Amino acid sequence: MRPVIALCDANAFYCSCERVFDPTLIGRPLGVLSNNDGCIVARTPELKALGVAMGTPAFRVRHLLEQGVIDLRSSNYALYGDMSSRFMSVLEQFSPKVEVYSIDEAFVDLAGFPADQLHGIGADMKQRVQQWTGLPIGVGIANNKTLAKLANYAAKNYPATGGVVDLTDPVRQRRLMDITPVREVWGVGSRIGKRLDHWGIRTAGELSKCKPAWIRKEFSVVLERTVCELQGESCIPWEEEITGNKHQIICSRSFGQAVTTFDDLHAALVNFVDRACEKLRAQGKFSREALIMIRTDPYRDAPQHNANLTLSIPEPTCDTRRWLQLLRPGLEKIYREGFLYRKAGFMLVDLCDGTGFQADLWSEHVLPETPAMMTVMDAINRRYGKQTLKPAAVGLNERPWHMARKMLTPQYTTRWSDILKVNAKGQKYPSTFH
DNA sequence: TCTGGGGTCCTAGGACCC
DNA sequence: TCTGGGGTCCTAGGACCC
């Protein structure tokens, strides 16, 4: 049976989430900022129309904000995460096989449906997600993932499509590819795009006509796969439905303001270790190698100091306390006095699931175990909120490294005290709001 | 004043093995 | 004069994704 895949992707996802709960933002140029209110990571079409590029630092558009031309919001991941899972559960009504590719998009298996029904199914998906979650989405349908991505691109960029494109027909494929810049193809980034340009390959259509073997020789097997997919072959498999089956866990942050003291830097890293180990246990995994990283601000005209250090433990562990014991001496090795630190991170690598590893000759345990104390701590934090119990070294006071989020909206869907209040008489919200 | 935080996969080259 | 061939593992770095 020929594979049929729908790629469903929410439009300007973070912005759309904000609009669901504040309809006064509908029609306005709106941007959502990265952590620390640093740069713009999501834009509505109205903001794009003003020429504000992805990744623009917030300070460059401050004048527009002050003039009331645009709106900005801090990123509210509690809200976006919850809206994402609502979106995904609507998709799961259409097919038993849904691969969540990122917070705002998913591949949906539609193999087996008659060809003449595909467009209608796509339209139903779009309509139901809109009605049940308030999120506008685009749907692209094709015979492999790369073409589904391309179909989705068309759904978003050509209003006449109504946001749904069935690209299973080869004639339509060819027509679309001939007018699509090669840079829009999934897997072609700015670097590869530039190199393709040198060969005179500027559209998806031109890329699709290349010989895969030649592409492999000049570029890579990765791009070769992309070309094969553009030619209709199916090369990128469905990901196994193992949630959280990661190979590494990273917790890193830029700081709200520069950190200068050892103690502050240490406290920030304790925080990252705490969260990384919590994620590790949530996946039922263990690790015996970690990396600590500290960075100064590369954009600042000040002395720079960037350093990494690898920490190792003989037998795999998921015990926060084990890593914390190594953290302070490790940080002492790479910390230098007199620098303005802007970012730090902790990364667990070499994850294993507790079987099939080399045990320490002198260890009492044959298999790694989750210490009871960690299990209890996780249970309490799940029930009473994040970091209800935390390592004392995190500290109790506000620290300079806390994230700046000056334009944060409430956690409408995940915190009782933040739930939206609607005034029936006030007519505050337009009728599209249910 | 002010520029994110995750991830993945692939390749090349060095160290080391017999 | 003349110095192999095949393999693994690890790491760093590059490229991509959202």
User: Mean pLDDT, chain A, as a whole number?
Assistant: 89
Cα–Cα distances in angstroms (integers) from residue A350 to residues A238, A272, A273, in the given order: 24, 17, 16
The whole-number Å distance from A125's CA to C5's C1' is 58
Nucleotide nearest to A192 (CA to C1'): C15
pLDDT at A21 over 50: yes
Distance CA A245, CA A242 (A): 6
User: Distance between terminal CA atoms of chain A?
Assistant: 41
Reported as a single tens digit per residue, the pLDDT across A246-267 is 778 899 988 888 888 999 899 9
pLDDT at A22 over 80: yes
Reported as a single tens digit per residue, the pLDDT across A63-90 is 999 999 999 999 998 899 999 999 999 9
Give A308's strand partners: A293
Residues A274 and A387 sit within 8 Å (Cβ to Cβ)? yes
Residues A217 and A240 sit within 8 Å (Cβ to Cβ)? no
Nucleotide nearest to A103 (CA to C1'): C18
Which one, of A140, A189, A125, A156, lies nearest residue A4 by Cα? A140
> For A95-120, what is the mean pLDDT?
94
**Higher per-residue confidence, A198 vs A416:** A198
Domains of chain A: 9-145+155-162+414-434 (3.30.70.270), 169-243 (1.10.150.20), 248-394 (3.30.1490.100)
The C-alpha angle A166, A211, A151, rounded to 5 degrees, equals 15
Nucleotide nearest to A250 (CA to C1'): B6
pLDDT at A388 over 90: no
Residues A268 and A254 sit within 8 Å (Cβ to Cβ)? no
pLDDT at A27 over 90: yes
Could you give the angle at which helices A372-384 and A262-282 cross, rounded to 10 degrees? 90
pTM listed for this prediction: 0.86
**Where do we find the tokens 């015990």?**
A319
The whole-number Å distance from A245's CA to B7's C1' is 12
Lowest mean pLDDT among A105-114, A117-126, A411-420: A411-420
Nucleotide nearest to A258 (CA to C1'): B1
pLDDT at A428 over 80: no
pLDDT at A48 over 60: yes
Alpha-carbon torsion, ordered A122, A125, A126, A127, to 10 deg: 120
Nucleotide nearest to A342 (CA to C1'): B3
Cα–Cα distances in angstroms (integers) from residue A373 to residues A321, A380, A385, A389, in the given order: 10, 11, 17, 11
pLDDT grade for A17, boundaries at 50, 70 and 90 = very high
Distance CA A167, CA A298 (A): 44
Nucleotide nearest to A105 (CA to C1'): C18
Which residues make Cβ contacts (< 8 Å) with residue A76, sequence separation at least 6?
A: A14, A17, A18, A408, A409, A411
Please tell me whether any atom of strand C lies within 7 Å of the Cβ of A190.
yes
Please tell me whether any atom of strand C lies within 7 Å of the Cβ of A188.
yes
Task: Specify the amino acid at residue A425.
Answer: K
Query: Longest C-alpha distance within chain A, in Å?
Result: 73
The pLDDT of residue A196: 94
> For A396-409, what is the mean pLDDT?
77
pLDDT at A125 over 70: yes
Strand C positions closer than 7 A to protein CB: 14-18
pLDDT grade for A97, boundaries at 50, 70 and 90 = very high
**DSSP structure class, residue A422:** -
The whole-number Å distance from A11's CA to C2's C1' is 70
Footprint of strand B on the protein (CB under 7 A): A 34-36, 38-39, 41, 55, 57-59, 62, 220-222, 246-254, 258, 279, 297, 299-300, 342-343, 345
Strand B positions closer than 7 A to protein CB: 1-11
The whole-number Å distance from A135's CA to B1's C1' is 36
Strand C proximal residues, A:109-168, Cβ < 7 Å: 149
